Amino acid sequence: MVASAQHTIPHEITEEAKIALSHYPELTNTKIEFKFKKNIKKSTMQAQPSFWSVFKSKKKRSYNILISERIKIADSVYYTKDIPSEIMIGWLGHELGHVMDFEQRSGFNLIGFGFKYVTSKNYIREAERRADSYAVNHGMETYILATKEFILKEAGLTQEYVDRIKNFYLSPEEIMILVEERDAASID
């Protein structure tokens, strides 16, 4: 386990987490713990505020990024330590996008977010697309695209799972539109 003043990272993903975090300078002083879990239901990774920190001011909140030790996609099992670095960086970057989203919300709003996320597929779609957008706007498009390529084409997923990913997350084409918009805005 590697720890900085605010970030606790398992040694297996230290380099990848540091690269992902480097794209989010706003999170330098935000307490984030990256943790492996044996099993995360319906997910590979999950970003969430630490329970009691929801009731604290935004500046005093802490977050957990939970990472499944084994990633089961369709009939294949991938061990986190075997995922290529670029893909892991993209996955972590997406989760840090959720943290950025959480940072903008009040404690009451976060509670509502959690409720809506559990009960509404449309809300899940909005939240996942927002996290992708944060990652792209923070210069992580290469990693996000590599992760999508892996999930959609290389991992041997069922069509049902591929359709779910396509529905809930930004497409590669939408990512490139965001990049063009971001780059055009930076020129102005």
pTM value? Answer: 0.91
pLDDT tens for 37-52 read 887 776 778 999 999 9
Q: Where does the pLDDT of residue 86 fall: very low under 50, low under 70, confident under 90, or very high at 90 and above?
A: very high
Residue 91 class from Cβ within 10 Å (0-12 exposed, 13-18 middle, 19+ buried)?
A: buried
Please report, for the chain, the start and end positions of each structural domain, with discontinuous segments joined by +. 2-187
* Cα distance between residue 146 and residue 172, in whole Å: 10
Most confident of 1-10, 81-90, 155-164: 81-90
CA distances from 139 to 17, 73, 106, 112 (A): 15, 27, 26, 29
Q: What is the mean pLDDT of the chain?
A: 89
Instruction: Please enumerate in sequence order all residues whose Cβ is within 8 A of that of 39, keeping only pairs 6 or more positions apart, or say none.
Output: 68
Residues 75 and 20 sit within 8 Å (Cβ to Cβ) = no
Please name the amino acid found at residue 96: L
- Region 144-170 average pLDDT: 82
- Tell me the three-class secondary structure of 31-95, residue by residue: EEEEEEECCCCCCCEEEEECHHHHHCCHHHCEEEEEEECEEEECCEEEEHHHCCHHHHHHHHHHH
* Cα distance between residue 12 and residue 16, in whole Å: 9
- Can you give the pLDDT at residue 146? 94
